[in-house]
Amino acid sequence: MPPHTRTQTADTEGSGSREAASLPPAESQQGIEAQLATAQAIEEELLAKLQLKEAAERIERLRKRLEDGDVAEVLSPGLPVDDQSVASSSSVSYGGLPKSIRPRQIAPYKGRTVREHSEFVTSCELSFRLEPSLNKSDELRCNLAAMWLEGEPRDAWLRHEKEPDFQKTWKGFKKFLLDLVEDPVNRGLSTAIKYEEARQRPGQSAQTFATYLETLEGELKAYSEEHL
C-alpha cells in the first residue's frame, strides 16, 4: 500500500478517535440535566419569594395609607392627580367605609387554642381582601400568613414544607395549624357530641342557633371527607 494511503488512513482514524473522546458520557449528560433541574427549581423558588416580598410590601403600603385615611389614592392609581385629590378628600373610602375605620393588626400566632386559630385565620382572610391578587395564589397566601407564625407552629410548618409530596394550599395550611392545636380524631368526636347535644338556649334567636348548627355541620362534613 502506498505511504500516503497509510498516512491518510491513520489521520482519519485519529480524527474519529478525537471526536469520540469529545462526546460527553451518559453520566455527564445526566449530571447536566440534574443541574438544570436544580437551577430551575431554585429560579422558581426565588420568583415565588420575590412575589411574596412584593405582595407584602403592597399590603404594608395599603395598611399605612388606610391608617392615614388616604385610601382612594392607593386603590385608584390610574386616576389623574386632580381626580385623586377629589377622591381622597371625600369622607368615604373604598367600599363605602368611613376613613376613620382602620384595619386591625394581625397578632402573632402561637397556636395555643382553637379559638386563637379561628381568630388568626379570619384576620388573615380579611387582610387578603386588601390585596386581591393574593386570592389567586394559595402559595402567596400561605407564605404571607406564615410570616405571623411564632414558636412551634412556625417551626412545624417549615418542617412540613420539606416533606415529600408536599402541596401548599390555603386549606391545607389552615388544617395543618388546627391539627397542631387539637387532634383531628378527637376534634371530630367533640364536634359530633356538640351537634348531638345542641339545644337552643333561652333568649337565643333562631337565626343564631341555626348558624351555630351550620358551623358544626360544616366541621363534621370536613372531617368526614378527610377520613373517607
Mean pLDDT per block of 10 residues along the chain (228 residues) reads 51 51 62 84 85 80 64 43 41 48 77 88 87 81 92 93 92 90 62 68 82 67 51
Q: Report the pLDDT value the prediction gives residue 154, as an integer from 0 to 100.
A: 94
Number of domains in the chain: 3
The grid coordinates of residue 172 equal 391545607
Q: Report the pLDDT value the prediction gives residue 146, as an integer from 0 to 100.
A: 93
Q: Please check whether residues 88 and 75 belong to one and the same domain.
A: yes
Q: Does residue 37 lie in a domain region?
A: no
Find the domain containing 199 and state its range.
184-228
pTM of the entire predicted model = 0.45
Q: Does residue 28 lie in a domain region?
A: no
CA distances (Å), origin 213, targets 178, 184, 201 = 20, 19, 13
Q: Please check whether residues 92 and 127 belong to one and the same domain.
A: no
DSSP character at residue 168: -
Q: Please check whether residues 153 and 194 belong to one and the same domain.
A: no
Q: Please check whether residues 78 and 113 belong to one and the same domain.
A: no
- Last residue of a domain, which of 54, 85, 102? 102
Q: Please check whether residues 113 and 166 belong to one and the same domain.
A: yes
Residue 172, burial from CB neighbour count under 10 angstroms (0-12, 13-18, 19+): middle
The grid coordinates of residue 202 equal 333561652
Alpha helices in the chain (DSSP H): 3-22, 26-68, 71-75, 81-88, 114-128, 138-146, 151-161, 170-181, 184-197, 206-226
Q: Does residue 144 lie in a domain region?
A: yes
Q: Does residue 211 lie in a domain region?
A: yes
**Nearest CA to 158 among 130, 180, 128, 183?**
180
Q: Report the pLDDT value the prediction gives residue 77, as an integer from 0 to 100.
A: 44
Q: Report the pLDDT value the prediction gives residue 192, as an integer from 0 to 100.
A: 64
Q: Does residue 124 lie in a domain region?
A: yes
